[in-house]
Amino acid sequence: MIWKDRNGNIVPGDDGQDKMLEFLYKTPIGRVIVKIMIHPFVSKVAGWLMDSKISCMAIDSFAEKNNIDLSEYEPKEYTSFNDFFTRKVLKEKRPVDMEPTHLIAPCDSKLCVYPITSDSTFTVKNTEYTLASLLKSKKLAKKYEGGTFLLFRLTVGDYHRFHYMDNGTKTKNRRIKGVFHTVNPVANDLYPIYKENTREYSILHSQNFGDVLIMEVGATMVGRIVNYDEEASVFRGQEKGRFEFGGSTVILCLEKDRAIIDSDIIENTKNDIETVVKYGEKIGLGM
């Protein structure tokens, strides 16, 4: 997918992550690799490796390959690849728009926005969901009909912490475990694989945008979602949590007539273009 910045310029993007997912889920060899990788033992070892000192060896080449500007982040000596992956950005590099009526981005990401209707489907990490299947709740999905679905896709080079987009009180987190459904192959026929990634969501009873549903979607194999709060009073710009190694996604669902999303983001989405946004910047206006 093409990326554009907020000035309308096309941004060079590395589609290696998308190509890898295509290979893993749409080729016979890739599916075999997936079945090995999702084995609990393999995933556990990979997670241990990402937390180990030896994984620091991969940091320099990873940062260079993904054009990561380390001057934007707090200087420190990293103890593992995950320590590097969850690095903290310098506050002055991500000023938070504190105007109460401005809807802000909760994270660095590539953003698309969609209307929520009774028959909407959304593609999240190469898997198609209805809102009810994503939430595992028809009742909750109904609450957001007529509203807006904001899909923030974090690529591997992005800042991997996420933040609250308004003051308010949040509910406890609900966790939905990831599952894989496969059909055994017959002879040499291709066989489908359907996945649901692990995800967590809560409701933010916000001061300016109603009841905002916030969901984090983790990576397929190694990635971990770390949320800091259960039920709590929170404030705009407060760090909500982080993703450990793996591609990640943040989703916001807004109720009907709560915000108008900026026109450049709307237009880009209509043209299958993702908009590059930074944590703390305005992406819409409250109604």
| H or E element that contains 47 | helix 40-50
- Here the tokens at position 141 are 């999905």
The Cα–Cα gap between 8 and 69 comes to 22
Distance, first Cα to last Cα, the chain: 31
**Single-letter amino acid, residue 26:** K
In the 8-state DSSP scheme, what is residue 53? G
Q: CA 174, CA 250: separation in Å to the nearest integer?
A: 15
The one catalytic residue among 55, 80, 108, 211:
108
Nearest to 200 by CA among 241, 247, 158: 241
Q: Whole-angstrom Cα distance, residue 278 to residue 199?
A: 22
Residue in 256, 260, 252 with CA at minimum distance from that of residue 166: 252
Catalytic one of 55, 80, 248, 262: 248
Active site residue 108: yes
Residues annotated as part of the active site: 108, 248
